Structure 1
């Protein structure tokens, strides 16, 4: 298992919240990513590597 972090972002792109979790690989980490409640977007990281940027359903200011 590998460690991943999901950062929920505010409308201005700054970090609002962080969720730590484990997954067997990158595909599993993407599948396990939670939806951030405010809908502005998120980033998934594994160590210093950004795995993905997820776009929310609201536009950033």
Structure 2
């Protein structure tokens, strides 16, 4: 089956997409769960969003604390 894995940017907008061919929804979900994504991602099959993944948010340089 064909899947699309959309990577999000820091504003929560689509930044990139990867197209995958996986044998099932379960296989696609497992692959997505192992994928590194800084700001989050969404997994789609056709017009159906299967899942949303949050990313390990990294502070932008302006947001870091100053010592």
TM-score by length of 2: 0.77
Task: Identify unmatched segments of 5+ residues in structure 1.
Answer: none
Task: Identify unmatched segments of 5+ residues in structure 2.
Answer: 59-67
- Partner in structure 2 of residue 35 of structure 1: 36
Larger RCO: 1 or 2 (CA < 8 Å, sep 6+): 1
3-state SS of the aligned residue for 1:31? helix
3-state SS of the aligned residue for 1:24? coil
Cα RMSD for the two superposed structures: 1.2
**Looking at CA atoms only, which structure, 1 or 2, has the larger radius of gyration?**
2
Q: 4+ runs of 1 displaced by more than 2 Å?
A: none
Report which of the two has the higher share of helix: 2
- Partner in structure 2 of residue 11 of structure 1: 10
Residues in 2 aligned to 1:58 and 1:32: alpha-carbon distance in whole angstroms = 20
Number of corresponding residues: 56
